[in-house]
Amino acid sequence: MIQQKSRSHRHRRLQSKSILFICVLLGSGASLFIHAQTSESQRDTADRELAAVYRLGGQPIGTYKEQRSHDSAGNIVTQLDSTMVFNRLGTKLEIKSTSRYLETPAGELMSIDNTSSSSQQSTIIHAMVNKDSITVTTTTGGHSYPRIVAFTGRLVGPEAARELAVARLHIAGDTVSYQTFSPELGHIVTVTDKVLAHNDSPGTNQESGLKIEQTMSSMPSALTLWVDNAGWLLRQVMSSPLGEIETLRADYAIAENAPANASTMSAESFNQSVVTANIRLPEERRIEAIKLKIIARHPGIKWPDFTADNQKVLEKTPEYLVMEVTRPMPQSDSSRPVAAEASLQPYLEPNPLLQSDDAGVRQIEASVVHEGDSAWTAARALQRWTAANMHFDLGIAVVSASEVAKNRGGTCFGYSVLLASLARAAGIPSRIRVGLVYAGGIWGGHAWVELLIGSRWIPLDGALYAPGPADAARFSVFTGSFEEGTVGNLGMLGEVMGNVDIKILEYTLNGKNTIVNEDAAPYTIAGDAYHNPWIGLSLTKPSNFRFTGYDLSWPQTTLIAIEGPAGECVEIHSESVSLPTAAEDKDKVFRSEGFNGSIHVRHISAYNGLFSANEKGAAMLIEHGGSMWLVKATAKQPVALLEQVVSSMKLE
């Protein structure tokens, strides 16, 4: 039978973007851009607190708490505490955020203090509101980064937002607009609340109140919330790539236990954030060009600006768009350091995420890059080091370079943060691209870097490694220097993840262009024969066996499998995603399948490959062209069955 597990880091590396998007959604307080004041008779000034539970797929995943109090000067203090806990393939990820808002009695925002973490290291943001600007200081990993954010109008905090909602929102159609600084997003945001209904039941809580649609600048989708007659939260529902996240008011005892009781995230939730490809790509990490049709699953999608240095939108309608992506190559090289042009400063300077000034980052850079290395030589050396020395860790989401340099673990975002920081330490301008990448039959969220080599931005990937520029089997939703020190732009990714289908229309590999009809079949099965023309695999099964496993989706890695009448099974996996290059990497493939014995070269039919066997089965790793194939047999006589299937295989 097909094993219900994911064998490889290649798919796990695609899960990070869903969780990063959750970090953006977590705990952003609302406030106002309205000059009218709430009357004293409407004010609820007593200290108060509430608790709520986060739920995903009906299961508790965390808790939300809100407390309102007053300091000795009569200023209003609002503290928001959020905790979400995810269990991803046996790894615990905890995302925490605490925000303390200080407002004058009249509702003027004075300051915000935020502490957040989704790794071992916390990030602290202090925002002090001035007359027409905010001084924002971000501290993490022992480094502080100040910046100034200008604004016009009036900034207020969550208490003033609640008061104005009570004063201005009464019947369906009433609206109010807010302006505040969001520490999670790192900039000024405008919020608009619109009443959808009055006395609408908020679900399990039957209190009277309002049903409101809330939109926020920088976030693609609206959320729905229910508030009681005093403006306090009853329930909230927001979309995410993992499904709808519900916040439901609860008593403190229930809320306290919610993080501890968080259950393992279902495969269904993960599957919502990826897209099954219409065909399998051969040698995906070497694709030179690709044409894609991105189709909206729902009407009204807000298409991000997909235009980038190596991305071109060829056609765009409300229902779909057609895009072409190419793999750029350096046209010229340059010495280091690059001249400090003003336009390049955001891509060279350290910031709270890309900490090129960290001692650990600089130590790595100095050990890898040699004096006299050109920019491209240095870039490739740093890419190789990152791919070889990082390990994948599902227990980390947003992470700064100082932590990655020390612990050397993270998701694809952590790989990119470190590689981009190392490049800046070497005097090479860098930025991070975030979007979707093709890997093993799916499109999933991913992050990679771009480095300025000569006059051209060249993509490099340390997580889904390929020597030199990153392949074209990917597209970005946004590209940023991350100078604000946040992942706020991930809101744009949320409009795409889980909301589109993707069809490959053309691809170029080794100079050969292949056209794919939109209705083309991903493979054919005729009698005992299986044929996949896109990856060049054909095989013939024994006549008393049956094909299975051909429609498996992520996180499964099996390409095709056959099962016999007595429970015999042969699985064929495509290993072309993160192509192993060292012998120890190839050994890991066998170890992950439970083959801990000797590994040696074996010749079967037209193929030479690495072979291993034990009492339960036999496996062979075949390298052909730019791809690798793992064939694994389980039977009473597994070696004979393996030889029979491999002998029937044809690799083009």
What are the residue boundaries of the structural domains of the chain, listed by start? Answer: 28-267, 284-515, 524-651
CB 388 within 8 A of CB 578: no
H or E element at residue 316: strand 311-316
Q: Is the dihedral of CA 240, 119, 479, 214 positive or negative?
A: positive
Q: Is the pLDDT of residue 1 over 50?
A: no
d(CA 239, CA 225): 12
Give the pLDDT confidence of 48-61 residue by residue, as tens digits: 899 999 988 888 88
Which residue do the tokens 């159609």 mark?
A: 173
**Is the pLDDT score of 250 beyond 70?**
yes
Residue 224: predicted pLDDT: 93
Q: How confident is the model at residue 99 (pLDDT cuts 50, 70, 90)?
A: very high
Weakest-pLDDT range from 261-270, 425-434, 619-628:
261-270
pTM: 0.89
Q: Sorting pLDDT into bands at 50, 70 and 90, what band is 416?
A: very high
**Helices 359-368 + 375-389 axis angle, to 10:** 110
Residue 414 has pLDDT above 80, yes or no: yes
State yes or no: pLDDT of 7 exceeds 50. no
Give the three-class secondary structure for 454: coil
Buried b (16+ CB within 10 A) or exposed e, 564-586: beeebbbbbbbbbbbbeeeeeeb
What's the whole-number mean pLDDT along residues 331-347? 76
Residue 39's pLDDT is what? 39
Question: 511-523: buried (b, 16+ CB within 10 Å) or exposed (e) per residue?
Answer: eeeeebeeeeebb
The pLDDT value recorded for residue 608 is 93
Taking 70 as the threshold, does the pLDDT of residue 9 lie above it?
no
> Helix 375-389 vs helix 412-425: angle between axes, to the nearest 10 degrees?
150
Query: Does the structure show a pLDDT above 90 at 512?
Result: yes
pLDDT band, very low/low/confident/very high, at 270 (cuts 50, 70, 90): low
Report the largest interatomic distance among the alpha carbons of the chain, rounded to a whole angstrom. 88
27-31, 269-273, 283-287, 496-500: segment of lowest average pLDDT: 27-31
- Please tell me which residue, 460 or 19, carries the higher pLDDT value: 460
In this prediction, residues 371-400 reach a mean pLDDT of: 91
Please name which of 561, 618, 609 lies closest in space to residue 586, comparing C-alpha atoms: 609
With 50 as the cut, is the pLDDT of residue 34 above it?
no
Architecture field, domain 284-515: Roll (3.10)
pLDDT of residue 312: 97
Average pLDDT, the chain: 85
- CATH level 3 topology of 524-651: Protein Transport Mog1p; Chain A (3.40.1000)
Return the pLDDT at 340.
63
3-state secondary structure of 75: coil
For the stretch 190-196, contacts whose Cβ atoms lie closer than 8 Å and that sit 24 or more positions apart, written own/partner, are: 190/33, 190/216, 190/217, 191/30, 191/31, 191/161, 191/215, 191/216, 191/217, 192/216, 193/30, 193/165, 193/169, 195/169, 195/170, 195/171, 196/172, 196/224
Q: Assess whether pLDDT exceeds 60 at residue 38.
A: no
pLDDT digits (tens, 9 = 90+) for 417-473: 999 999 999 999 999 999 999 988 889 889 999 999 988 999 999 999 888 999 999
Whether residue 336 is predicted with pLDDT greater than 90 in this model: the reply is: no
- Of all residues in the chain, what percent carry a pLDDT higher than 90? 58
Q: How far apart are CA 374 and CA 283, in angstroms?
A: 29
- Among 14-28, 329-343, 499-513, which stretch is predicted with the lowest mean pLDDT? 14-28
Q: How many Å apart are CA 418 and CA 375, to the nearest integer?
A: 17
| Residues whose CB falls within 8 Å of the CB of residue 36, separated by 6 or more in sequence, listed in order | 164, 167, 168
Q: DSSP assignment of 236-297, as one string?
A: EEE--TTS-EEEEEE-HHHHHHTTTTPPBPPHHHHHTTSEE-SSPPSSGGG--EEEEEEEES
Question: Among candidates 433, 309, 425, which has minimal Cα distance to 378?
Answer: 425
Asked whether the predicted pLDDT for residue 230 surpasses 50, the reply is yes
